[in-house]
Amino acid sequence: MRVLFAVSSWSGHYYPMVPLAWALRVAGHEVRVLCAPSEVDRVTGAGLTPVPLLADTDLTRHARALNLLEERAGHWPYREPPPHPELDGPVEPGTFDLDAWWAGAVRAERERLLRGVDAAQGYALRWQPDLVVHDVVCYEGPLAAEAAGVPNVLHLWGPTGAEGTFGVLRGNGGAEQFTAAVAEQALVAAAGAEQADRILTRAGHVLDPCPDPVREHTTVRRLPIRYLPYNGSGAEPVLPPRSDRPRICVTWGRSGTRCFGPQTSKLPQVVAGAADLGAEVLLLAPRADVEACGTLPESVRPMVEVPLHLVLPDCDAVVHYGSGGSTMTSVVAGVPQLAIPFTPAGVFLADRFAAVGCARTLPNYETDAAGVRAALGGLVHEPSYARAARDLAADAAAMPAPAEVVGTLERIATAPELVARRAG
């Protein structure tokens, strides 16, 4: 069987797909990864074969644009305006013409998307895959599957839903519903209503790595798949021996500050709060962010470019800003979590884990060192959080491993009606 993976320019969305690609290869199937040139090194670093035909997408610019629209709708929670979509620094109120910029951005996105769709469909017709697997924002994937006349499967990256790929945050109203609606509106503007509808409704199956207690409910056919953490390549670190102090991992990725602005970088407050608790802190963050914290307390150990899944199992708690990779890797490790999400929509997602008792949430825009210390103190000293985290990890471990899902994908790809249609 030939399986074509189609991935976006945001590695956090497709890293959860990597173990499935490995499992397909081990089972003897051919795998190719349709991607943009910017993703070639990451795809080859995962031991997979890239096909760099898609146009690069500046997803940071897209995220910043959504933040500007959120500010206009009254959902932006910070005093500082959102970052300019293309320049350093925040937008200048009263001088930035969002409507004009948005119109130009949509035109550019339309050209980029149409080039990518043409390339994806052309490759699918030439290579003739039996199945297409894609992430939630790789819009070329469903149309490549359509061109080849094969099923496409959406692979979720974390605690999101799948109603047409944009139902990720629906059901609670407010900012999270607004964000999904605006993203869908942007896709319709760029792709055209007919093509956008084909993108949004084409997936017949959804691979969902979230265990039942925290998953988003959906009417699309769900295929559970165990989340096997892949956080990029890197060597296993040599950790110091455990002391009687709690060990806390603090991880802060690159995209947060870049998309939401410097006012959202709460790493100094997080480090100060964790250290003030008397904890040993393993700090996983980009070098520039670590340096911005100034002189670190003796109890803080910076660790640059270390995959998160190699550190977490030996920790008592983890602090992150609510990304899917950090959240799901923490679930698998069975570690209580403190999430510090940037937006009300992010709080909505993070609170799903707080509701099952394995996490706490501090909105980024309200976070200070004292709040971090108090929240971490509860996670570390109240046994209920560790029990709930272990229970959720057991639920995650009981889900079908990627190797077990391969057989299901084989049956989807070789359904008699599909084989007959392709033969005809």
Six token digits for residue 348: 């909505």
Task: Please report the pLDDT score of residue 423 as a whole number.
Answer: 55
DSSP state of 361: E
Q: How many CB atoms lie within 10 A of CB 415?
A: 11
Q: What is the mean pLDDT of the chain?
A: 87
Domain identity same for 209 and 275: no
Average pLDDT of 120-137?
Answer: 95
Domain identity same for 385 and 419: no
Distance CA 312, CA 44 (A): 25
| CA-closest candidate to residue 156, choices 214, 105, 86 | 214
Please give the tally of structural domains in the chain.
Answer: 2
Strand partners, 131: 3
Q: Are strands 317-320 and 247-251 parallel, antiparallel or unpaired?
A: parallel
- Residue 82 carries which side chain, given as an amino acid letter? P
pLDDT at residue 172 is higher than 50: no
CB within 8 Å of 111: residues ≥ 6 apart: none
Identify the helix (H) or strand (E) that includes residue 408.
helix 402-413
Please check whether residue 87 lies inside any domain of the structure: yes
End-to-end CA distance of the chain: 19
> Which pTM was predicted?
0.89
Name the band, by pLDDT with cuts 50, 70 and 90, for residue 162.
very low
Q: Determine the angle formed by the axes of helices 18-26 and 402-413, rounding to 10 degrees.
A: 70
Domain identity same for 383 and 410: no
Q: Domain containing 320 — which CATH number? A: 3.40.50.2000
pLDDT at residue 387 is higher than 60: yes
Model pLDDT for residues 338-363, shown as the tens digit of each residue: 999 987 777 878 888 999 999 999 99
Please check whether residue 124 lies inside any domain of the structure: yes
Name the band, by pLDDT with cuts 50, 70 and 90, for residue 72.
confident
Task: Tell me if 193 sits within 8 A of 88, measured CB to CB.
Answer: no
Please check whether residue 234 lies inside any domain of the structure: no
